[in-house]
Amino acid sequence: MAVGMFPPSHDERISYAENGHKLGSLELQQQQKNVDDDGRPCRTGTVWTASAHVVTAVIGSGVLSLAWSMAQIGWIAGPVVLLIFAAITFFTSLLLTDCYRSPDPVTGKRNYRYKDAVKANLGEIQLWCCALVQYSNLMGTAIGYTITASISMVAINRSDCFHAKGHNGACNTSNNLYMALFGVVQLMLSQIPNFHKLWWLSIVAAVMSFSYSGIGLGLGISKIIENGHLLGSATGVPIGLTLGSVTPAKKVWRVFQALGNIAFAYSFSTVLIEIQDTIKSPPAENKTMKKATLIGIITTTTFYLSVGCFGYGAFGNGARGNLLTGFGFYDPYWLVDFANACIVVHLVGAYQVFSQPLFEFVESTAANKWPKSGCIHTEHAIRIPFVGTWRVNVFRLLWRTMYVIFTTIAAMLLPFFNDIVGLIGAAGFWPLTVYFPIEMFIKQKRIESWSWSWVALKTISAACLMISIAAGIGSIEGILHSLEKYTPFKTTY
């Protein structure tokens, strides 16, 4: 007799129900395995991918200005200042990693963005102050990276020109076209939906940063060997009226600006929470992020000391503002070209690492404000031959395109590498790297006012505020000085 010709018995019905319940439980368990405790898809980041994000965020255009910064400060204070900034950045980053979850750093509610952590710990008013500073700083960094990438592309063109025409050849080139080309690339990459999709770009960018930093270091060492001794002095560029010296006021402005450049070189706190949000658990995200931060800071500080010291030792007080584009190095020209190409590739990735948090903030705010808007919430699938399906969101396409266009035009209007780098570093260092992490830590750990820990933390914060103010003043003075002989859209190198 064929099974199923008669209705199932009572026992059979119980058996089917039990089996169906087991199947449903298995499906539910499988679904739960695919999501984290907040219902979002499982994060897959590790200490190594997070370290790559950190290195990509930290080692940027700032490394190229360190030899110039060392020249302003000198052999005695230069390395010490670098190490102090590294120590402060590492310390406050450790505090910030514990703010990814609130109120408990291991089991608390996740904060997906830097400003979410500020809101959870410090309240609404501090949130808006943080958002204004953070997103202005991210946009400023994108502008700075556009300037730097274009200068490196110009350097490749000039290097080839010098090789063909000699070191005294007429090889001046405008960087506006190269800024536009960089902007076109960013227009395409900016359509990557979110931070989690950027792991491959960060790894490529990290490899590039190692490459050009290593080349700069190697060229600096070879130049020192060629010179036969280290150049430079204990206190940097001298004060006086002779050739190569500066006035006392100029010396002060340049030292302040150098502090801003070094602060910019260590700026990654703005994206630390976003990087931590890519990390899987267990182990707890803050433990993994602390290891990644340690690896990133040690790696970058080693490179910074090496590139800054050997660059200064090679060129002394005459070190250029940008080590690989100021043409202290002419040969081998193909190696200089390759190093500058690595800079461009790295900054392509770094631009995205710093811009994605701003993209996400604007888009999530718009989505919450207009929950029924098809323009904001609907994605359209477009098939691209040999590539696959590209999912287009109209709001994302328009907003991110306008953002890239704005940063590109702003870079064309203010193409002053050292001055802009110093100003961005000064504006972001104290509030984002020092003030908010310390205040959140005090609130989270309930540290009593006027206790030894409270006084120590507040003293660090106050000292860093003074440094930021001084660096900002020095950079603004440099920008004003550069504007005296500047014509918009007609800068050449």
Instruction: Find the CATH number of the domain harbouring 341.
Output: 1.20.1740
Query: What interhelical angle do 176-189 and 394-413 show, nearest 10?
Result: 160
Q: How many CB atoms lie within 10 A of CB 153?
A: 22
First to last CA, the chain: 92
- Is residue 8 included in any domain, yes or no? no
C-alpha separations of 440 from 78, 97, 124, 468 in Å: 31, 11, 13, 20
Look at residue 291 in the predicted model and tell me its pLDDT. 92
Look at residue 32 in the predicted model and tell me its pLDDT. 52
- Is residue 267 included in any domain, yes or no? yes
Burial class (CB in 10 A: 0-12, 13-18, 19+), 442: buried
What are the beta bridge partners of residue 381? 391
- Is residue 108 included in any domain, yes or no? yes
Is residue 237 within 8 A of residue 245, CB to CB? The reply is: yes
* Pairwise CA distance, residues 480 & 493, whole Å: 19
* Peptide bond just before 282 cis, omega within 30 deg: yes
- Is residue 17 included in any domain, yes or no? no
Look at residue 83 in the predicted model and tell me its pLDDT. 93
Look at residue 186 in the predicted model and tell me its pLDDT. 92
Look at residue 91 in the predicted model and tell me its pLDDT. 93
DSSP state of 432: I
Full pLDDT tens readout for the chain, 493 residues: 343 433 444 444 444 444 544 445 544 454 556 787 777 888 888 898 888 878 777 776 667 778 888 999 999 999 999 999 999 999 999 999 999 988 888 888 899 888 889 999 998 899 888 888 888 888 888 888 888 888 888 888 877 787 777 666 667 777 788 899 999 999 988 887 765 566 676 677 778 877 887 887 888 888 888 888 888 898 888 887 665 678 888 888 888 888 888 887 777 777 788 889 888 888 888 999 999 999 988 988 888 888 888 889 888 888 877 766 655 555 677 888 888 888 888 888 888 877 888 888 888 888 888 888 877 777 777 777 766 676 778 888 899 999 999 999 988 887 666 677 777 778 888 898 899 999 999 998 899 999 999 999 999 999 999 988 988 888 888 878 777 776 666 665 5
Q: How many CB atoms lie within 10 A of CB 139?
A: 18
- Is residue 99 included in any domain, yes or no? yes
* Pairwise CA distance, residues 168 & 333, whole Å: 15
Look at residue 7 in the predicted model and tell me its pLDDT. 43
- Token pair 């700075």 in the structure block, residue: 144
Q: How many CB atoms lie within 10 A of CB 112?
A: 18
DSSP state of 8: P
Query: What is the number of structural domains in the chain?
Result: 1
Look at residue 184 in the predicted model and tell me its pLDDT. 93
Is residue 194 within 8 A of residue 284, CB to CB? The reply is: no
Look at residue 13 in the predicted model and tell me its pLDDT. 45
* Pairwise CA distance, residues 82 & 422, whole Å: 15
Look at residue 28 in the predicted model and tell me its pLDDT. 46
Look at residue 490 in the predicted model and tell me its pLDDT. 62
- Is residue 4 included in any domain, yes or no? no
Look at residue 489 in the predicted model and tell me its pLDDT. 61
- Token pair 């266009």 in the structure block, residue: 405
According to DSSP, the β-strands at 379-384 and 388-393 are antiparallel
- Is residue 18 included in any domain, yes or no? no
- Domain that includes residue 182, residue range: 50-484
